[in-house]
Amino acid sequence: MEEILRLRNVDFVRESRWILTGIDLMVKAGEHWALIGPNGAGKSTILSLCGAQMHPTRGTVHVLGHQLGRVEIRKLRESIGHVNPRHPLTSALTVREVVLTGATGTTELMPRWEPGPAVLERADHLIEMLGLRSLEGATWPTMSQGERGRTLIARALITDPPLLLLDEPSTGLDVAAREQFLETVDHLHRSQPELATVLVTHHLEELPETTTHAVLIKGGCVLAAGDAHEVLTTELVTESFEHPIQIEYRDRRWQARAIRTATPA
């Protein structure tokens, strides 16, 4: 399979503070990775490196065959889909307009920019595929968080990128909206088998059924990486979060709960 992402011996230092140390990670086409760890472990920094939003302090990052620091970043970012539930849009754009902003990589519609027939056809295809057709008259301020999440996936996919990054995409969703969102991600994985995805979360319940691989982060280091069933174990997750956590896999989904410890008499 084609290599999509490779981080080799990556360190990241900010204001004399070590955020990441010795990160090694490789993602291939068609793989669906979960990036998991406690708050402050360095997950979002790794995702920013994967998305060519940051450069490593040491080590190398290759994205879609290009090494960061030796490639035109803006051009590279056009080949990376990025879903951030904290998307800073405030204008009353329609679903279609929000999706079209993905073609220019901007938050707002670019003045005097006219999308061509192929871009419009792609936007309408994604709107249909992600079940957004019924929201045709809705605008961003009136949409629910779940509707926004699906719209942002369509926006991220409009350039048909080989890599999709999802940064805690279930943030702010209630249980029903979360399940609908995960169904959407699973459908996307099955309908686009070559697409590589990296999803950041610290809740195992938020992992799609189609998750294939996982990496556990602890203190800015990779604790374990590989096949999701080999990484997402009670022992390793407990070590990552430094708290006893029982992991179960049922009906193709992961569940986590704290292990009760005996209370002193």
What pLDDT does residue 86 have?
85
Give me the mean pLDDT over the 133-145 stretch: 89
**Three-state DSSP class for residue 185:** helix
Rounded CA separation 122/99 (Å): 10
d(CA 86, CA 200): 14
Q: How far apart are CA 261 and CA 217, in angstroms?
A: 24
- Taking 70 as the threshold, does the pLDDT of residue 221 lie above it? yes
Predicted confidence (pLDDT) per residue in 9-26, tens digit: 999 999 889 999 999 999
Residue type for position 179: E
CA distance 177 to 200: 18
pLDDT per position as a tens digit, 31-76? 999 999 998 899 999 999 999 999 999 999 999 999 999 988 888 8
pTM of the model: 0.90
Residue 196's alpha-carbon distances to 75, 123, 212, in angstroms, are 19, 20, 10
Which CATH class, in words, describes the domain spanning 3-79+161-258?
alpha beta
Name the residue ranges covered by the structural domains of the chain. 3-79+161-258, 87-160
Specify the DSSP class assigned to residue 6: E
81: closest CA among 158, 22, 174? Answer: 158
